[in-house]
Structure 1
């Protein structure tokens, strides 16, 4: 497989061509769902910066509502925003819905005809890639959220970038185990396991882990943000009382099992000043592990779209067990970079990972500056 490469301008050109081909292949009814106004324009902009990782309506035209030829064009667009490894991982997570259906004995619904549906991954383009100086696109469904902004022929934002997996591992033939996000977990475990007593004390925030990423699916991250409860990370709340009660029950059971108090959630809340152990305080081998771990987030996109991060300033903060395969959470935070991972649900076999840039998620500040300069 050839690696996705090229300058940000070349990648933007590929994205534009792929997005245009997809939009042109849609019927009028399909375009109403899949093709919206340019970024910055009222209702479309408010929708563009909403994102989800639950099995809810992510907004856009789902793959299941497209003909095979249209699906192929959608996947072609998806490939332009990802490295080869990123594309393979995303495609695996999409198909992994079939595995989760088996885990749940094909019995869930969540208000949909099929709760775990590989056809319910949504694509939406904002603006006209062939004409507009500013346009965007996003792709998402259960455990996937990818968001891109393009301005003046260059990709200017690639976050939030969320990948999750449930189950985190499942058996394959020959005694193998398939783990789509294995490195996101294993490299972190190797790193925290290598810390000496003093380093570990600085890295460990709490001996118990939250049941989800702390930043949730907020548009912007701010100091003091606490973990959102499960009913609050869907697109609205269920009108069906039975579904609403079921979601609340699942959330409360997870919280009870985690054993976190209100003070614990406050202690784990987001901060402007990163907490934990810095890369500068690590040994050479530990810094190498840290760099590899950071890359499991930034290498999701083509290399020329990935930031060059100062490892000395990246902080590792940990909550929960340091024993492999037990519930834990970690946060990596530094200039222009925030990554979170949690694996607590389903007996520590259900993981969430997200890469964010608090200074440039959705390209909000870049877009605002661009619009000011145009007026």
Structure 2
């Protein structure tokens, strides 16, 4: 059975795609802030310089999280908060996010912990003044869902760090039996490793044992990991196509203008330098881990916990998480302008 919140998320129309995402974010953030009274605004709105802006957390539970939870919002405020998700997520991405929240209800039934597992404990935080040229941002965060956005100069943006997770990876019983939130990513990754193995690229597997967790975990700054696996430069066209389909599945969680801009960043940094490496088993039911690493970004996924039925997936930017790169560039440009005058 859907909770009132999940029913609301599914029923609201996605924001018109012809409105650019940056403008849509500002509009949605202004409306959300405007829907709050002073007390709730104090829970949801923070200075852009707040330390918590760069806190990255996808594990339970609170109180480590900042923001105003859906649980404490009125229906109108929930609708306004949902428009923030509409401003950045594609229909596919919004469905995944909604289903991840649904899984909290599934875990509640499995574990019998109604206070610990709550599909309404997802938090919205706004940092800075929406539209501020110097930078502003926001996050949507809860168990297995951590979305962070930064906008600088009214045109530059960052959508990382980004995390989607699923526990159970596949629901085995009950009302939602058969639900696999991250099914597409799983199947595309397995198709890729198998096409590489069939093509003789045995070095795609860098370890027979998968690490228990994604290696970057909840680190505020992602660091470059060991270069493992196969580079795009060493892939056939079919193998490269399979890799790009997997990357596109991650990027495609966001609206078209955001996804296309992020793909352009990856291509500009050198698509031929991107590597794909796998650890663990490749057969159904076996624990696995993989990572896609390029000069500027890292995508990691692990399915080890709970008898390999608990998926964690993150997308990080080495210099661009929380908009660090575009903020630095923006400040440098303003320093040059100041010196010129």
Q: Please, what TM-score do these two structures have when normalized by structure 2?
A: 0.86
* 3-state secondary structure, aligned to 2:125: strand
Aligned to 2:8: none
Distance in 1 of aligned mates of 2:223 and 2:296: 13
Residue 57 of structure 2 corresponds to 52
Task: Give 1:369 deviation, angstroms.
Answer: 2.7
Match of 1:284 among 209, 233, 237: 237
CA distance in structure 2 between the aligned counterparts of 1:27 and 1:176, rounded to whole angstroms: 40
Q: Which residue of 1 aligns with 2:338?
A: none
Q: Deviations over 1:82-126 (max 9, x none)?
A: 11111111011112110112222x14xxxxx71111111010001
Kept in 2, the 8 Å contact 1:60–1:122? The answer is yes
Q: Is 1:347 matched up with 2:307?
A: yes
Deviation at 1:219, TM superposition (A): 1.4
- Conserved? CA contact 1:313–1:334, under 8 Å: yes
The alignment partner of 2:150 has SS state of strand
User: Does 2:88 correspond to 1:81?
Assistant: yes
- Indicate if the aligned counterparts of 2:61 and 2:116 stay in contact, CA closer than 8 A: no
Aligned counterpart for 1:329 among listed residues 289, 292, 317: 289
Q: Which residue of 2 aligns with 1:237?
A: none
CA contact (8 A) 1:138 1:146 kept: yes
Deviation at 1:303, TM superposition (A): 2.0
In 1, Cα distance between the equivalents of 2:325 and 2:176?
Answer: 49
CA distance change for structure 1 residues 99 and 318 in 2, over 3 Å: closer, same or farther?
A: same
Corresponding residue for residue 264 of structure 1: none
1 CA distance for matches of 2:163 and 2:130?
Answer: 24
- The aligned residue for residue 35 of structure 2 is 25
Shift of the 294–2 alpha-carbon distance from structure 1 to 2, 3 Å rule, reads: same
Q: Residues 372, 288 of structure 1: CA spacing in aligned structure 2 closer, same or farther, 3 A cutoff?
A: closer
Distance 1:342 1:174 in 2: 26
**TM-score normalised to structure 1 length:** 0.78
Cα gap change, 1:368/1:343 in structure 2, threshold over 3 Å: closer, same or farther? same
How far did residue 201 of structure 1 move? 2.7
Are residues 175 and 52 of structure 1, via their aligned partners in 2, closer, same or farther at CA, if it must alter by over 3 Å?
A: closer
Change (3 A) 1:66 1:33: same
Question: 2-side partners of 1:119 and 1:314: how far apart?
Answer: 38
Whether the 8 Å CA contact 2:81–2:124 is kept in 1: the answer is yes
In the alignment, structure 1 residue 201 sits paired with structure 2 residue 208: no
User: Cα distance, 1:187 vs. partner?
Assistant: 0.9
1:304 pairs, out of 230, 244, 257, with 257
What displacement does 1:56 show?
2.5
Provide the residue aligned with 1:249 in structure 2. Answer: none
Change (3 A) 1:74 1:16: same
CA distance 1:130–1:188, change in 2 (3 Å): closer
Gaps of 5+ in 1: 108-112, 224-269
| Higher mean C-alpha deviation, range 171-180 or range 94-103 | 171-180
Contact 1:189–1:324 (8 Å) recurs in 2: no
Q: Give the gaps of 5 or more residues in structure 2.
A: 1-12, 336-341
Q: Check conservation: 2:132, 2:154, Cα contact below 8 A.
A: no
Figure out how many residues of one structure are paired with residues of the other and give that number.
Answer: 314
1:139 matched to 2:140? The reply is yes
Segment drifting more, 74-83 vs 304-313: 304-313
CA contact (8 A) 1:4 1:82 kept: no
- Tell me which of 69, 72, 76 is aligned to 1:65: 72
Shift of 1:176: 6.8
- Displacement of 1:282 after TM fit? 2.1
SS at match of 1:56: coil
After superposition, give the CA deviation of every residue in 1:220-258 in whole Å (9 maximum; x if it has no partner). Answer: 1224xxxxxxxxxxxxxxxxxxxxxxxxxxxxxxxxxxx
What SS class does the counterpart of residue 196 from structure 1 fall into? helix
